[in-house]
Amino acid sequence: MTTAELMDYAEVITRFDPVLGLEVHVELSTATKMFCGCSNRFGGEPNTHVCPTCLGLPGSLPVVNAVAVESAIRIGLALNCEIAPWCRFARKNYFYPDMPKNFQTSQYDEPIAFNGYLDVTLDDGEVVRVQIERAHMEEDTGKSLHVGGATGRIHGAEHSLLDYNRAGVPLIEIVTKTIEGTGERAPEVARAYVSTLRDLLQALDVSDVRMDQGSLRCDANVSLMERGAAEFGTRTETKNVNSLRSVERAVRFEMTRQAAILASGGSILQETRHFEEASGTTRAGRRKETSEDYRYFPEPDLVPIAPSAEWVQELRGTLPELPAERRKRVQAEWSLTDLELRDLVNAGAIDLVAATADAGAPPAEARSWWMSYLSQQANARGVDLGALPITPGQVARVIALVADGALTNKLARDVVDGVLAGEGEPDHVVETRGLKVVSDDSALYAAVDEALAANPDVATKIREGKHAAAGAIVGAVMKATQGQADAKRVRELILTRCGA
């Protein structure tokens, strides 16, 4: 695709309003699959996490995983959805080799959760409320490997190899209502929505939410309407969007592509497109000869699900503090400005600071450590803050040692360096690196006396009441003790010696 076929983004915005719809598939991290007792572990030798049911063998039958239903309800509740008092599974009929029964057991017009919303905070602090249409349960497909032709691509392959370990893994599909009025921020909103949803699912502990492994997948529906128009344009659905950054890029690309077509008098084909990570572009999928007709009907092998109000209430009670609430609470408790909060959020530091505070450190100290020295170390190493090899407990211990006067700030940074270098717990690092503050007054007096003797002029000034001159002696003592003295104490001793 050449740039001529794309419209400049700024121009897109002046002429069109983007409309988004996002479908996110989440693989649940249950022990077993949706409808059978096979392991739901990622990977494994091909076709080793399979049984008659997930292989679709003749005569096999599905039985619903209780934890998957609980997870679906908890996700629904966390997304402020209504929970259906009665719902069913349906069969979605279409043929595809990675689907062992040639129908997907899914939910159709009776999703377990519907009519919710998720508040999404953009980088500048603006909050966008994304309406949730539904969250429903379904099963994943197997995986195909394409052999021959171009590098694993389906096109030109001579044959394919199928592994059904993933077939039947529980999925929750979360579908937004159309997202309108976001204007130029549409790509950012899309990304922030998926990111916020990911954090939420992580807090619920229902999924690994690894976009790189496919346990969180996003399909982006994008259409444009002329500014001021009343009707939506034709949409495309972009699949294969495997990172947060790709969500933003895919939406932006589709906007510029569709705008160029519309501006030249063309029309948009309603089609499935595939995002190409390397080029940041989307490309059309194969055209189907017949329009898809899924022939949905209620799954006769499963009975309805009717969550009682008591059960839903009980599950509501199991919801952890969700990211948005947590942020609000933390901001109040730690007296943060909006900007400080956002920095913490963007750095992914809230949980780390909170855990450090929970381990006994004053929140302000904890925040300062994570946001300055540790952030610098993370940047230097090119890793996320959370990936640094130091625990909140260790950071809290270092802060406690400083508060006790056992370490100076300079020594504390050395201790942290030691921990990061894999030298063990903070106390061990203090021991092995010999980083203890010299707190023995007699030892310090010896150093003070030595420094005063070496600088008689300065000593005289101090005795004459020029206390500011003590700084030079402090420096000399600190140098002599290799920084292991508490400068404040040293200063007190100097003044005492000089009778000041």
User: Which residues 156-175 are close enough to bind another protein by CB under 8 A?
Assistant: 157-164
**CA nearest 254: which of 23, 22, 6, 25?**
6
38 binds another protein (CB under 8 A): yes
Please, which of residues 321-380 interact with another protein by CB under 8 A? Answer: none
Q: Which is nearer to another protein, 92 or 397 (CB)?
A: 92
214 binds another protein (CB under 8 A): no
How far apart are CB 136 and another protein at their closest, in Å? 17
Distances (CA, A) of 444 to 95, 301, 348: 83, 83, 43
Listing DSSP states for 75-132 in one string gives HHHHTTPEEPSSB--EEEE---TTSTTSEEEE-SS--SEEEEEEEEE-TTS-EEEEEE
Count the residues of the shown chain that bind another protein, applying the rule CB under 8 A.
80
How far apart are CB 175 and another protein at their closest, in Å? 19
Helix (H) or strand (E) holding 433: helix 426-433
User: Beta 297-298 vs 90-93: how paired, if at all?
Assistant: antiparallel
Distances (CA, A) of 310 to 76, 112, 289, 306, 317: 16, 16, 49, 11, 11
Please, which of residues 51-90 interact with another protein by CB under 8 A? Answer: 51-52, 54-69, 86, 88
How far apart are CB 66 and another protein at their closest, in Å? 4
According to DSSP, the residues that pair with 125 across neighbouring strands are: none
Q: Which is nearer to another protein, 155 or 382 (CB)?
A: 155
104 binds another protein (CB under 8 A): no
How far apart are CB 250 and another protein at their closest, in Å? 15
How far apart are CB 199 and another protein at their closest, in Å? 24
How many CB atoms neighbour CB 366 within 10 A? 25
463 binds another protein (CB under 8 A): no
How far apart are CB 302 and another protein at their closest, in Å? 5
Please, which of residues 137-156 interact with another protein by CB under 8 A? Answer: 144-148, 153-155
Q: Is residue 71 a contact partner of residue 268, using CB atoms and an 8 Å limit?
A: no
How far apart are CB 28 and another protein at their closest, in Å? 10
C-alpha to C-alpha distance for 69 and 107, rounded to whole angstroms = 12
Please, which of residues 271-330 interact with another protein by CB under 8 A? Answer: 272, 274, 284-286, 289-290, 293, 295-298, 300-307
Q: Which is nearer to another protein, 100 or 233 (CB)?
A: 100
18 binds another protein (CB under 8 A): no
483 binds another protein (CB under 8 A): no
Structure tokens at 60: 């096999």
Please, which of residues 231-260 interact with another protein by CB under 8 A? Answer: 239-240
How far apart are CB 45 and another protein at their closest, in Å? 6
**CA nearest 334: which of 308, 309, 314, 361?**
361
